[in-house]
Amino acid sequence: MKRIFIAALLSISSVVLSTAVLSLTLMLIGGDFSGAALGVSVVFIYVATIIGGLGIFFVAIPLHLFLQYKNIDSVKPYVVTGLIASMGFGFIFKPFGNDDFLTLIQQLLIVGTVGAVCALVFWYVAVKGEANKVSC
């Protein structure tokens, strides 16, 4: 159970890191380093962290316990679920606003990538670390 808790914390940290890098990259590309742009980035990171944390506790941990029960230790179910769950959330709730279809697809690809990375981190700590008997 300790390993699952550590995997959840590191996954949440990966959400914070990936959204921070994404926000700063967009600020660099746009050349806008004003207080307003930084404020929007902080809100973006904060909201993504909350949503990612909820996803970890309501999707990743139950999935992990089910896969552990079935003795499945492949990375594929974790990454696919992270990708689909995050893209599904983005498609249903449209957290970036009501944009045209092409912009929505781009946003879903970004959100899906963050979800897949988060799932990969969770799998690496919770499953791969357990298989290698890495102590936490």
Q: How far apart are CA 94 and CA 59, in angstroms?
A: 19
Q: What is the mean pLDDT of the chain?
A: 90
**In this structure, are residues 15 and 118 in contact, taking their beta carbons and an 8 Å threshold?**
yes
CA distances from 54 to 20, 57, 61 (A): 18, 5, 10
Task: Give residue 32's pLDDT.
Answer: 80
**In this structure, are residues 126 and 4 in contact, taking their beta carbons and an 8 Å threshold?**
yes
Amino acid at 53: G
Task: Give residue 132's pLDDT.
Answer: 66
Task: Give residue 135's pLDDT.
Answer: 53
Q: What is the DSSP letter of 57?
A: I
**In this structure, are residues 115 and 55 in contact, taking their beta carbons and an 8 Å threshold?**
yes
What is the pTM for the complete model shown? Answer: 0.86
Helical residues (DSSP H) of the chain, grouped into ranges:
2-30, 35-55, 61-69, 76-93, 101-123, 129-131
Task: Give residue 82's pLDDT.
Answer: 95
With a cut of 70, list the residues of the chain below it in pLDDT.
131-136
